Structure 1
Amino acid sequence: MKVALVTDSTADLPKPLREGLGVRVVPLYVNLGGRIYKDWEEISPAEIFQKVREGTAFPTTSQPSPEDFQRTYQEALMAADHVLSIHISAKLSGTVQSATLAAQDFPGRITVFDSQAASLGIGMMVLRAHELLSQGHTLEEVLSELDRIRKDHFVRFSVATLEFLKRGGRIGGAQAFLGTLLGIKPILTLKEGRVEPAGRARGERKAREEILRDFQTWAQGRKRIRAFFLFSAEENAVTELKEMVLSSGLPVEEALVSELGAVIASHTGPGTYGFYAYSL
């Protein structure tokens, strides 16, 4: 059985990579200043932040429609027997719901998988699924591996300000960090698909050190780890953390470094950095 892969734009996979792999992407939307833009296609994070600085209202985002998914599924099924559709956490977006509704038009031919993640947390699952399918693994074997990664992976990130998360309504338990203590950096994670607090530190260096300590604890006993580094607007925001992780002495492979797309950046703001990791 030939399986096609579909994801959404919040997987934050660079266009040349996803096109090279043949992964189809359904875009989410950014609403800003009375206009609607397709994520990754019609607006960049830098443009969003510039407009906010100029006084434009904070951006909002919306999921693709079922019709968006129907068109993509129909196209994919012209060249494949089945579609594996991997998406942003249903607790962060209505994207899974739209995909599930669209899948009803193709009985037995679409599998919708809730990653319970965002950004490269989705992307790393898409890439792993492609790898396994290319090696001849069955859909059932791929789903089993994705479920394992969903249950057991590492994610930490930090934001320069919680204002974007608060305004977007995605902050969850991280509201505990809302305050005005000078120099306090929030360290965040995703638990069961929701943004939650994982710690706090005074200053950038301390935040990176705490993230590394958490990672070292998680990584104990693992023989091979893939790390996926993310940043918002400027790659140097994640450079030092990446160097700390790769020089930690742990069996870590740098799998990918990617910028957050406009939708995720709309909820995290400029200066965001962090990484996902899973073990083989």
Structure 2
Amino acid sequence: MGQIKIVTDSTADLSLEQIQRYNIKVVPITINFGSDSYADGVDLDADQFYKKLTTEKVLPKTSQPSPEMFRQAYDEIAAEGDAVLSIHISGKLSGTLNSAELASKIAKAEVIPIDTKTASQGIGLIVLVAAEAVKRGLPRDEVIALTNKSIPHTFSVFAVDTLEYLQRNGRIGKAASLLGSLLQIRPILYADPEGMVAPYDKVRGRSQIIPSLVAAALKNVSPDQPVNLSVVHSWNKEGAGELLKELQKHYEIVDLHSGMVGPAIGAHIGPGAVGLMIQPSFDSLQKS
């Protein structure tokens, strides 16, 4: 029986520590500012990206990795007899999963593409479930089953400063219903069960954003169990810190990540966003 390898894409917003801890292969999304192209996390980090975002006259666009990029990644890390779990951003939000599926048909190893139906560290949390299962030596079928089980148990919710970036980049999804009605209203959005961006709540004024996000977490993931938590932001470190502080009052957190949303997701949500991704801890998920 061969080894199990983990591949994802840069929309997972994994930290370098998370990538190195589990030896995860990350295939970068391409960020385009006009005629200039950058590999997400390779040629352009989060700080550099947000500085460009606030100074460039053109909005960035993203393009998915090609099937050939995925094939090269699979063949680089896996041999015949190995299995690759290729875990990606929602197929409703990007063509990345489709590229991975096409590449899986021509790779040397067996490749199992997985649609997380979410984005950013929502993907990241699911990737880490798979990676932890591999690290603990679970059989392949159990690794796959637990990874798939974690998908509906992972909740992602966030607040954006403006819907402009989602609208212009065609990722606004069901949140389009909020356009033209905002004024001082702040939209709270989430990754719905279909894997689309959808309205979760509307609050009046910035002061209500953190309470709404915390309430959303408590409603969807019980505080009566240990959890894995990611708090993310796009140049809104103060908001992320406040959100984390409030969540720590309610949850026993086993695995915590707090950091910036990378360029691939930042291109669609813009600066000023804050959000959270939460799921039961690995042991809680395995027992449930």
Considering the TM-score relative to the shorter chain, is it more than 0.5? yes
Cα distance change on mapping 1:15 and 1:251 into 2, 3 Å: closer
Aligned pair partner of 2:202 in 200, 203, 225: 200
8 Å Cα contact 1:45-1:266 kept in structure 2: no
Give 1:178 shift: 1.5
Indicate yes or no: 2:85 matched with 1:84. Answer: yes
- Asked if 1:29 is matched to 2:30, the reply is yes
Aligned residue for 2:107, secondary structure, equals coil
What are the superposed Cα offsets for residues 172-199 of structure 1, whole Å, 9 maximum, x if unpaired?
1111221364331100001121000000
**For residue 153 of structure 1, what is the amino acid of its counterpart?**
T
Maintained 8 Å contact 2:118/2:156: no
State the Cα deviation string for residues 61-112 of structure 1 (Å, max 9, x = none).
0100011011111111149711111111111111111111111113761111
| TM-score scaled by length of structure 2 | 0.91
Q: How is 1:123-138 mapped onto 2 (pairs within 5 angstroms)?
A: 123-138=124-139
Alignment partners' CA distance in 2, 1:238 and 1:220: 21
Equivalent in the alignment of 1:14? 15
* Alignment correspondent of 1:229: 231
The DSSP-based 3-state class of the residue aligned with 2:57 is coil
Deviation at 1:166, TM superposition (A): 0.5
Q: TM-score, normalised by structure 1?
A: 0.93
CA-to-partner distance for each residue in 1:149-177, whole Å, 9 max, x for gaps? 21222221001111001111111111122
1:170 equivalent in alignment to 2:171:
yes
Structure-to-structure mapping, 1:85-164, within 5 angstroms: 85-106=86-107, 109-164=110-165
RMSD value, Cα: 1.9
Displacement, 1:221?
6.8
Unaligned segments of structure 1, at least 5 residues = none
Q: Which residue of 1 aligns with 2:220?
A: 218
Cα distance change, pair 222–154 in 1 and its aligned pair in 2 (3 A): farther
Which residue, out of 230, 234, 247, partners 2:249?
247
Query: 1:276 & 1:236 partners in 2: Cα distance?
Result: 17
When structure 1 is superposed on structure 2, of 59-68 and 73-82 the one drifting more is 73-82
Q: Matched residues in 2 for 1:132 and 1:261: separation? A: 26
Percent of aligned pairs with the same amino acid: 34
1:90 match: secondary structure? coil
Measured in 1, the distance between the counterparts of 2:131 and 2:56 equals: 42
Q: Which runs of 5+ in 2 are unaligned?
A: none
**Distance in 2 between the 1:84 and 1:52 partners?**
33
